[in-house]
Amino acid sequence: MERSDWSGRDSLEEVCPRGCRWTAHYRKLIEQIYKKAFRFYFRNLRYAYGRNNTFLCFQVIREQNNEVLHKGVFLNQPSPFRLHAELSFLSWFHDTELSFDENYKVTWYMSWSPCPECAKEIVTFLDNHHNVTLTIYVARLYYHWNPTYKEGLRALVQGGTRLYTMAFPEFEDCWSLFVCNETFRPWENFHKCCSLQDKTLQKILRRGKMLKEETFRVQFNNAHKAQKPYRRRVTYLCYQLQEANGNLTKGCFRNKKGLHAERRFIKRISSMKLDQAQSYQITCYLTWSPCPLCAQELAQFKHSHPRVQLKVFVSRLYFHWKRTYQEALHRLCTSQVPVTVMGLPEFADCWDNFVDHQSEPFKSWDKLEQYSNSIERRLLQILKSWGVDDLTANLRTLQLGPTSPPVAGRDP
């Protein structure tokens, strides 16, 4: 299907069998990049003047057997089409005869990060193609100081894209796959430029997922009663996923639109299509312990992801006097999802990793450790009443370390 009036910057308006917007339009697929072109357009300088085009190098791999099915390069198409490289790929993907019954891993190496319009189209694409996992490595960040472009990058990650800046291994892979077989030789200040781009991206993504200081101190406060001025304490879930290669993914959820934070978290991690052959560690910080339904779904998630080590820290126990909620804690611990109560080290780690604290160290509130010890004793009593041994002793050594809207609330 063609639309002669489509500009490339308009929304993709055609509809594919999966309900995704698309267009089969003007695009030019090439196989290789000249060495001089690569070294000019992919050079990750802080100020990259004169680089007015975007190169998108891609691989499509069948997940079941890691077979490389397709690879190539798209460029932004100039006027009159003005078709961005990202939209060229989405158009090409729809025209390629790939089975909806198989899972695919797609990797992009890009000279510039996507613009907000393209980011929106990528998120829509992933929403309608749950069999596709997309990883994007970018050499440079496009208009990274512009709030609209920052929001576009955050939307990509929140929509399921794995977004990273290119470091030496990614430059080397891109060079060998799309340039030539010669050894990749970094340019001057290469590693310094890589570090700068990565810090900039982490700052953008981090700020988009950060809690305000006041929100953290109200919602994670472990006092038995809410402090004055009274604000309803709802469920917040902060998580960090660490892959075997060291890559980190972080995020925060709260109850919203009929979904508890735990269910939103499970939906988010499931959309990432984790490699079942790799090991992962996920650490969750919760303001309230899970309700029975969420505990059941967390246990099912762990059962379907045996190579995921899932650890849950809670600030407070939710309806801990009710037998059904005690059973929920029992179910989690017997499903290899250990639950423990947050102490001072965990509050400090959560503060460092998930709060926009402007480099201020965590300051304990009054009686924090007293409240924590009281809640932990209650948790151990509950577990022992169900015949469960203390499974939480080893969790105290866990440190996340530094990295370079409710259904009805949960009031006990």
Q: Would you write out the chain's pLDDT as a tens digit for each of its 412 residues?
A: 222 332 333 333 333 333 344 344 456 788 899 999 999 999 998 888 878 889 999 999 998 888 999 999 999 877 656 789 999 999 888 888 788 788 999 999 999 999 999 999 999 999 888 889 999 999 999 998 888 998 899 889 888 888 999 999 999 999 999 999 899 999 999 999 999 999 899 888 865 557 888 889 999 999 988 777 677 888 999 999 988 877 778 888 888 877 899 999 998 888 877 888 888 999 999 999 999 999 999 999 999 999 999 999 999 999 999 999 999 999 898 888 999 999 999 999 999 888 877 657 888 999 999 999 999 999 998 988 877 654 444 444 444 444 433 333 444 4
- Can you read off the two tokens belonging to residue 169? 């291994």
Q: Is the CB of residue 85 less than 8 Å from the CB of residue 29?
A: no
Catalytic residue among 14, 67, 86, 376: 86
Using one digit for the tens of pLDDT, what is the confidence trace for 305-362? 999 999 999 999 999 999 999 999 998 988 889 999 999 999 999 998 888 776 578 8
Q: Is the peptide bond before 229 cis (omega within 30 degrees of 0)?
A: yes
As a whole number of angstroms, the distance between CA 360 and CA 383 comes to 36
Helix, strand, or coil (residue 340):
strand
Q: What is the pLDDT of residue 226?
A: 77
Structural domains of the chain, with CATH: 14-207 (3.40.140.10), 209-397 (3.40.140.10)
376 catalytic per annotation: no
Alpha helices by DSSP H, listed for 213-336, are 213-219, 261-271, 292-304, 323-334
Bridge-based pairing of strands 132-140 and 162-165 is parallel
As a whole number of angstroms, the distance between CA 288 and CA 195 comes to 37
Helix, strand, or coil (residue 242):
strand
As a whole number of angstroms, the distance between CA 29 and CA 360 comes to 50
Q: Is the CB of residue 156 less than 8 Å from the CB of residue 136?
A: yes
Query: Is pTM beyond 0.85 here?
Result: no
The owner of tokens 């961005």 is 84
